[in-house]
Structure 1
């Protein structure tokens, strides 16, 4: 579990009022990039104007939600002037009720960067010092321990983000070099002075969509890679099954103009070198999990641009409440903390990703069944002679893959339809975006487990096909993939425990180890 600070050799992601990308957040999460707050005087002056405007309103006895009033349904409660300074600290204190597993260090870095992006837009009424404190913690590798459960995704990710607010002030705990350390001690050791939050700063940190949006960025990155990896697996499955590459003909796909689906078909043509002469004896029509693979994978491929737009729009939004328009000197009360766009993207993404798991599960069922795998051994066992009787090949692996697939499919129920009325019916319609994002990550995790199983399966299937058909070699793209897999997975010639290889392939998949298709 790595919480170490980024290194000087990493690229810089500059936080100002300009637009960021999913890749910026993913790179910061992985430790491949550093978050740097802009030194530009105009940017810093724009941030300061919001805080100065709020200070002036307070001096003039202005009524400001969450500054001179209580929070949520308590907005009708007036806070005495002498207690205004304490209010932000009460906000993060009483929201310290999260449960569940802690976000990983990578997820936490993504959350911190995502909140920094929103506050840097200059519409939250916070000080430059608050932004600098978030950047300092990221640079020092001091990451708040954030429980993953407790947000309904409207009025923002209040409870999880309270842990960021508290750590900025030297309270609660952080990850430091993989260990849990009291925040006060960690900040002291790093020479970082705890903040005393200004009047709106607790609300500004917590009342936004940073957790769900950060998790959505990470989910997008994993889903985009899976579209390519599942396509390569399909190509290898088709070769192992002695399939008909003409199912991916360019003219065939020209008459159904879904660009993502057409792209997947193009990748399959390239992998299978579909222009090459076909061997005799092929089925006229392969089963759906091969023939219709572009139509299944293509749904996710075609949805990715929409997901990117929704996620990046949220990433680049000011999404707390109230919005502070310092230029026009207005306080605008609204609901930009509502995470409906992220909720819909995550509910949709997990559906499309789970269908990849189901597709691969069906391909595996064909590959291990001697009735359908066109002459390969049952369960793809590589054992020969008398020992073939006691070897069972990938029989258990297929059961496990089916279990992971079933669990992924079970989780496709949309979270966003389970809105609850909370907080004295003030938050009476909520997005459930953070739950949707966590569900999506779990579906991705399970689908990656199915992918690991299929990587072993297609590696074994291609090897057996070549053994069964002397003189036949995989097309060049598949041969390169076979060689890469061969560094991690030997052919299964005798039953063995496959868990270590599965875990290694999971690591490779999540690290996007294989270069697949050009953009």
Structure 2
């Protein structure tokens, strides 16, 4: 079997690519900037990738690999190519061992632990690494890029342990599992089964790749794990801000609150853009609602100040996008190979400080959303604060009310998830450790920060699911009390959509399966897409 790439038909038919969306347009890699949304499309929507067909771009990639070969032939010393790695950079590698060095790097880094990344996370990681190498400053051959594209398009997914990276020199240990898969070592997920990757390559008619000098280092010495995870975190956080706004509007209806708290002028005179954006979503959802005072002249802070809380996350997302997409569209390994000026540049672009700080900040903003939604839920279930709704939002008939407890336990669980989310906001980036004989003596912890952010998102999505079910229940109870309660169309669509999946709770029942299903939809960022009339419509 030849080592060169498969035919271009692999990008068009994708008949062997289990899980690939055959109707989705391929995301082009090379000579263009990749967006967070495109990474998410590859990871979650199963979009294929296609390498740029521009001959000039492909020639530039090849020039980098050719220049590196010439440097070696001329006897030049290049870190990680004919020297040892890290602190062993002072160790010269004999020419007869140079070809064996890349595979050795992948093998001794095969020590990751913890849970394995899921399929979407793995795809995001591979997409991030492929895009970085496609900038042409890494000295790799075109065939390496083609084989990375094969991993995505054929859904040959390395099992990447989530723990073991300090975020500089990049994500060495987790990315070693990607490099090893290309070289025909370790296990992968393929078509729903755990397989030996060598057998999978044989089934696809491809020989395992023999890594050329520097290709192991180029694959591993970069920020692809933290960056891929950051792309997914961004998308989920964006969706949560929109959902938190929708739930605030619905809580306002359920609590018989005031739409006037979201008047546009309030947010013109305090001009934080994200705050105004969140207020605009809530205002649109409440359009047509009477502004006369309900039970209180001013609703409690978790309602009245919701745009101010959500707005912090909205504004944070603007610079988080900037930093994540800068990292995504960067050459971030070491050394870099400049094929145009024929230079080898030894530096520290593998350092993941920007991703670390962005993820540390984003997890704080997201945890505040959890706290906001949990506070709103606490108001809804408490007869002292819910303006006439039944205790714990129970929908039981009067004769059965004494033994029904509605959403009491759901609120307790939501509080537990919120507390855990808040606990996980401790910044990872300040916990740098000196490693590898004090060569890697200041590291970013970017991958830990990204993993923490995903955990906070997971917990916050559980809170959002609980709040969604409770708020829909509360709105339906409010309509029982007063059938003339105005419910604007966007909120009615939302109520109807949620109720179709989770019926009204009259008699107590276990809600775990409904909470899990709704949480999965929130994590997939498609809840508001289906329930028309909201910010995504």
- Could you state the TM-score of these two structures normalised by the residue count of structure 2? 0.95
How far off its partner does 1:32 sit?
3.3
The residue number in structure 2 matching 1:436 is: 449
Look up the match of 1:16.
30
List aligned pairs for 1:151-162, cutoff 5 A. 151-162=165-176
Counterpart-to-counterpart distance in 2, 1:91 and 1:5: 31
Q: Answer yes or no: is 1:449 the counterpart of 2:462.
A: yes
Q: Among residues 107, 114, 134, which one is paired with 1:100 in the alignment?
A: 114
Asked if the contact 1:17–1:122 (Cα under 8 Å) also holds between the matched residues in 2, the reply is: no
Find the partner of 1:122 among 107, 119, 136. Answer: 136
Deviation at 1:35, TM superposition (A): 1.0
Picking from 184, 206, 209, the partner of 1:195 is: 209
Please say if residues 114 and 315 of structure 1, whose CA atoms lie closer than 8 Å, have aligned partners that are also in contact. yes
Give 1:346's aligned residue. 359
Partner of 2:418: 405
Instruction: Report the counterpart of residue 285 of structure 1 in structure 2.
Output: 298
Q: Secondary structure, in 3 states, of the residue corresponding to 2:26?
A: strand
- 1:251-266 alignment, distance < 5 Å: 251-266=265-280
Contact 1:154 1:430 in 2 (8 A): yes
- Cα 1:360–1:276 change in 2 (3 A) is closer
- TM-superposed deviation, 1:5: 4.4
For the 8 Å contact 2:20–2:46, the answer to whether it is kept is yes
User: Counterpart in 1 of 2:13?
Assistant: none
Q: Give 1:513 deviation, angstroms.
A: 2.8
Cα displacement (A) at 1:188:
0.8
User: 1:241 corresponds to which residue?
Assistant: 255
The equivalent of 1:462 in structure 2 is 475
CA RMSD, 1 decimal: 1.2
Deviations 1:420-439 (A, max 9, x none): 00000000000000000000
Out of 168, 173, 179, which is 2:182 matched to? Answer: 168
2:182–2:208: 8 Å Cα contact kept in structure 1? Answer: yes
Structure 1 residue 137, shift from structure 2 partner: 2.0
Match 1:324 to one of 326, 337, 352 = 337
2:125 is aligned to 111
Once the two structures are superposed, residues 86-144 of structure 1 have per-residue CA deviations (whole angstroms, 9 ceiling, x without a partner) of 11011001000000111111111111111000000000000001111111122221111
For 1:309, the equivalent position in structure 2 comes to: 322
Equivalent in the alignment of 1:418: 431
For residue 507 of structure 1, report the CA deviation from its aligned partner: 2.2
- What is the CA deviation profile of residues 199-256 of structure 1, one whole-angstrom value per residue up to 9, with x for unaligned ones? 1100000000000000000000000011100100111111111111111111111110
Alignment TM-score, normalising by the size of structure 1: 0.98
Q: Per-residue deviation at 1:279?
A: 4.6
Alignment partners' CA distance in 2, 1:278 and 1:251:
15
- 2:405 is equivalent to residue 387 of structure 1: no
Structure 2 distance, partners of 1:178, 1:150, is 26
Structure 2 equivalent of residue 41 of structure 1: 55
The change in CA–CA distance for 1:280 and 1:431 in structure 2 (over 3 A counts) is: closer
In 2: Cα distance, 1:372 partner to 1:201 partner? 62
Q: Secondary structure at the match of 1:180?
A: strand
Aligned partners of 1:45, 1:280: CA distance in 2, in Å?
69
For the 8 Å contact 2:256–2:294, the answer to whether it is kept is: no
Match of 1:482 in 2: 495
Segments of 5+ residues of structure 2 without an aligned counterpart are 1-16
Contact conserved, 1:244 with 1:282, CA < 8 A, in 2? no
Partner Cα separation in structure 1 for residue 439 and residue 535 of structure 2: 49
Alignment length (residue pairs): 516
Deviations 1:46-86 (A, max 9, x none): 00011000100111001000001000000000001111101
Aligned partners of 1:281, 1:236: CA distance in 2, in Å? 15
